[in-house]
Amino acid sequence: GQNIDQPTEMTATEGAIVQINCTYQTSGFNGLFWYQQHAGEAPTFLSYNVLDGLEEKGRFSSFLSRSKGYSYLLLKELQMKDSASYLCAVSPSSNTGKLIFGQGTTLQVKP
């Protein structure tokens, strides 16, 4: 079956660094995505990993280890506006383009 696990909730302080982990077990693997979703809004794309290693995009970085079925999203210099849900999603196939989503991690940034 398909299984993607993330912590349900996390809390961090403004200006700090937070790491959101994601583990996955899927029938195939064609890349892992991180999306940000504010309450009542559509998800927005943050990052994509298909090879092992770290991808950095400004304050956000994402890491992938395919052998371990593991990824994390690292958020630096946290801002209040970073309070949102962060969704880990796996593309199991290159043919369909569909994504399988984890339950999402709700991050609350406190002053």
Partner 1 sequence: GAVVSQHPSRVICKSGTSVKIECRSLDFQATTMFWYRQFPKQSLMLMATSNEGSKATYEQGVEKDKFLINHASLTLSTLTVTSAHPEDSSFYICSAKATDGSGANVLTFGAGSRLTVL
Q: What's the min distance (Å) between Cβ of 98 and partner 1? A: 6
Could you give the count of Cα atoms lying within 13 Å of 64 in the half-sphere of its Cβ?
A: 19
Q: Does 101 bind partner 1 (CB under 8 A)?
A: yes
Q: Which of residues 31-50 bind partner 1 (CB under 8 A)?
A: 31, 33, 35, 40-45, 48, 50
Q: Considering only the stretches 17-25, 65-73, 75-83, 94-102, report the one whose residues sit in contact with partner 1 under the rule CB under 8 A.
A: 94-102
Q: What's the min distance (Å) between Cβ of 15 and partner 1? A: 27
Q: Does 10 bind partner 1 (CB under 8 A)?
A: no
Q: Which helix (H) or strand (E) holds 23?
A: strand 18-25
Distance in angstroms (rounded) separating the CA atoms of residues 27 and 44: 25
Quick count: other Cβ atoms within 10 Å of Cβ 92? 17
Quick count: other Cβ atoms within 10 Å of Cβ 23? 16
Residues that bind partner 1 (CB under 8 A): 31, 33, 35, 40-45, 48, 50, 87, 91, 96-104
